[in-house]
Structure 1
Amino acid sequence: MIIDAHAHLLPKDYPHDAPECFPRMEPIDGSADRLLVFDKMRFPAKEVFFEAERRVEAMDASGVDAEVVSPMPPLLRYDLPAADGLALAQHVNEFAAELAGHAPERIIALGMVPMQDPDAATAELAAITELGLAGVEIASNILGTSIGDASFLDFFKEAERLDLPVFVHAMPSPTDRLPMAAMGTYVVGLEGMYSAASLILGGTAEACPDLRISFSHAAGGFAMMLPRAQYFWGGSWNEEPRNLERAVMPDEGPSPLEYARRFYYDSMVFDRRTIRYLVDLLGADRLLVGSDFPAMLREEPAAKTLQSMDLPDDQWQDISWRNALRWLGREAVDA
């Protein structure tokens, strides 16, 4: 069984009386696809983004049993006025619920909230549960502010209280340190790292011990940075017992690795060697299948790299589907 925990949706249309800052989905001559027009963005959206029948067909063709579908990341436009951001989120969430309703065992939909207004975002979580959506997607930063900032703590506490999983999708933040060509590559990797680290350093992980949170693309470079953070915390190499004489920043709380092993990470990292490192450092019980489909081409068959690694069966079962259900808060019952 395979659950793709990182796939995306786009609404087919938007209200005719929507604010001018809303996206548009324009017809493409001779095709059932649509053109997403959002500010300067022009993105040809395949029919599978918004038609449930096409999604199920695509899953069948790739050997996927179910998908966790979240709004296409460019919809997470936190620069919109708060009221417009809320209206956009509500429209996308209603569409997501409708899409999932066509095949609820196969399409598991997440919603979105206007994180530019933390109070409105927190309040909207209740509406997400009322719609029957499985969780919420947020970006790795909110207009350049990391999600571990104290201003977002109440949001995470409410998600924890409502038992809603959170999916953090790495998104570029304004920077002049790397060229624009790096926005989809290196910067996304950096943003994933910043977002996960900020939840630990900002106190969210401590304040929300039961929060179930997943990071796209294994939180970028986060796992490579953890051993250094572990050394500064406990003064030891290779996760040996603490040596406080060498610790740079001793702390009596859980270690960075203990916090990191509470999180989930999708394994779309493009290389089996990276996956092996993630399994060794974080554990096979922390990884999920992810594809970014249909924004990116899925491996054919799905999870091809994972399947080529000769993982022990229990590890394969965890990564391919059990962990996704655990992250979603659903019972994982062996088939």
Structure 2
Amino acid sequence: MLVDTHAHLLPRDYPADAPECFPRMEAVDGDTARTLLFGSVRFRAKDVFFDAERRIEQAAASGVDTEVLTPMPPLLRYDLPAGDGLSLARHVNEFTATLCATDPSRLIGFGMVPMQDVDAATAELAAIRDAGLRGVEIASNVLGVSIGDERFLPFFAEAERLGLAIFVHAMPVQMDRLPASAMGTYVVGIEGALAASSLILGGTADKCPDLRVSFSHAAGGFPLMVPRAQYFWSGTWNEEPPVPERAVAHTDGPSPLDYARRFYYDTMVFDRRALRYVIDLLGDDRLLIGSDFPAMPREVPAARTLLSLELAGEALENISHRNAQRWLGMELT
């Protein structure tokens, strides 16, 4: 069984009376695709983004049994007025629930919330659960504020209480030290690392020990950063037993790597050597298949790089579907 936990959707349309700040989906002459218009975003969306039958057909063709569908990241517009952000989220969530109801065994939906208003975002979680959605997608930062900031703790605590999974998608922000051309490449890696680090350093990982969080693109540079944090915590290399008197930042309780191993990470690291490292460091029980489909094409066959590692049976089963079941909190058939 193969579960793709990083796949995206877009609604086919938006209400005619929607606020002016809402997205639009315009027809494409002579094509089943539609064009997303949202602020500066101009994106040609193939029909597989919003057509359930096409999704199921293409998933089957690539060997994917189940997809976890999250909104395309450009929809996570936290700069909108809070009321409009909530209205947009509700429209997208309703579309997602309807799309996934076509075949709940193959399509599993995640909602979105207006993180610019933490109270509204937190209050909306129960409605997301009641709609049959299994989790929530959030961006790696909220208007430049790290998701590990204490202001977001009530949101994560409520998601934990309701048993909803969280998918953190790296969201580029303009950085003065890198050119605009780096937004979709290097900055994605930086953003993932900052998001994962902030959940540890801000205390969310400690205060919400049962929160099930996954990071896109294996949290970017985080897997290479956390061994350094481990060294300063333990005073030793290679995760050897800690020597507190030699450590710079030793604290009682879990180590940085212990916290890192509470999270999940998708396999979209684009190189078998990088994937091997992430598995070795964080464990085969922490990795989830991801593709970014249909914003990016899937490997042929799906998960080709993972399969090339020739993992032992249990490790492969963990990454291909068992970890997804644990992250989602549900059995998949």
- For normalisation by structure 2, the TM-score amounts to 0.99
Q: Which residue of 1 is the match for residue 304 of structure 2?
A: 304
Q: Distance in 2 between matches of 1:186 and 1:253?
A: 33
Q: Distance in 2 between matches of 1:250 and 1:233?
A: 4
Q: Which residue of 1 is the match for residue 160 of structure 2?
A: 160
Alpha-carbon deviation of 1:119?
0.4
Q: Distance in 1 between matches of 2:27 and 2:318?
A: 41
User: Is the CA contact (8 Å cut-off) linking 1:230 and 1:257 kept in structure 2?
Assistant: yes
Counterpart secondary structure, 1:245: helix
Alpha-carbon deviation of 1:245?
2.4
Q: Distance in 2 between matches of 1:291 and 1:25?
A: 24
Alpha-carbon deviation of 1:173?
2.0
Q: Which residue of 1 is the match for residue 234 of structure 2?
A: 234
Deviates more, 1:236-245 or 1:81-90: 236-245
Q: Which residue of 2 is the match for residue 324 of structure 1?
A: 324
- Tell me the percent identity: 69
Counterpart secondary structure, 1:25: strand
Q: Which residue of 2 is the match for residue 246 of structure 1?
A: 246
Q: Which residue of 2 is the match for residue 86 of structure 1?
A: 86
Q: Which residue of 1 is the match for residue 58 of structure 2?
A: 58
Counterpart secondary structure, 1:324: helix
Q: Distance in 1 between matches of 2:186 and 2:241?
A: 34
Alpha-carbon deviation of 1:42?
0.6
Counterpart secondary structure, 1:79: coil
User: Is the CA contact (8 Å cut-off) linking 2:174 and 2:180 kept in structure 1?
Assistant: no
Q: Distance in 2 between matches of 1:123 and 1:58?
A: 35
Q: Which residue of 1 is the match for residue 224 of structure 2?
A: 224
Q: Which residue of 1 is the match for residue 284 of structure 2?
A: 284
Q: Distance in 2 between matches of 1:331 and 1:61?
A: 23
Alpha-carbon deviation of 1:253?
1.9
The alignment status of 1:259 with 2:259, answered yes or no, reads yes
Question: Counterpart of 1:31 in structure 2: which amino acid?
Answer: D
Counterpart secondary structure, 2:120: helix
Counterpart secondary structure, 2:285: helix
Counterpart secondary structure, 2:121: helix
Alpha-carbon deviation of 1:198?
0.2
The alignment status of 1:313 with 2:313, answered yes or no, reads yes
Q: Which residue of 2 is the match for residue 24 of structure 1?
A: 24
User: Is the CA contact (8 Å cut-off) linking 1:144 and 1:174 kept in structure 2?
Assistant: no
Q: Which residue of 2 is the match for residue 206 of structure 1?
A: 206
Q: Which residue of 1 is the match for residue 43 of structure 2?
A: 43
Counterpart secondary structure, 1:284: coil
Q: Distance in 1 between matches of 2:231 and 2:309?
A: 30
Alpha-carbon deviation of 1:250?
1.3
Q: Distance in 2 between matches of 1:127 and 1:28?
A: 34
Deviation per CA, 1:156-198, whole angstroms, max 9, x where unpaired? 0000000000000000123211100000000000000000000
Q: Distance in 1 between matches of 2:268 and 2:250?
A: 34
1:164-179 aligned within 5 A: 164-179=164-179
Deviation per CA, 1:229-266, whole angstroms, max 9, x where unpaired? 00111111000010122211111121000000000000
- For normalisation by structure 1, the TM-score amounts to 0.98
Q: Distance in 2 between matches of 1:250 and 1:206?
A: 15
Q: What RMSD, in angstroms, separates the aligned Cα atoms of the two structures? A: 0.8
Alpha-carbon deviation of 1:2?
0.4
Question: Counterpart of 1:172 in structure 2: which amino acid?
Answer: P
Question: Counterpart of 1:175 in structure 2: which amino acid?
Answer: M
Question: Counterpart of 2:252 in structure 1: which amino acid?
Answer: E
Q: Which residue of 1 is the match for residue 7 of structure 2?
A: 7
Question: Counterpart of 2:241 in structure 1: which amino acid?
Answer: P
Give the total of aligned pairs: 333
Alpha-carbon deviation of 1:300?
1.1
- Consecutive unaligned residues in structure 1, runs of 5 or more: none
Deviation per CA, 1:248-288, whole angstroms, max 9, x where unpaired? 11111210000000000001100010111111100000000
Question: Counterpart of 1:53 in structure 2: which amino acid?
Answer: E
Deviation per CA, 1:57-115, whole angstroms, max 9, x where unpaired? 11011000000010000000000000000000000000000000001100001000000
Q: Distance in 1 between matches of 2:116 and 2:235?
A: 39
Counterpart secondary structure, 1:285: coil
Q: Which residue of 1 is the match for residue 294 of structure 2?
A: 294
Q: Which residue of 2 is the match for residue 104 of structure 1?
A: 104
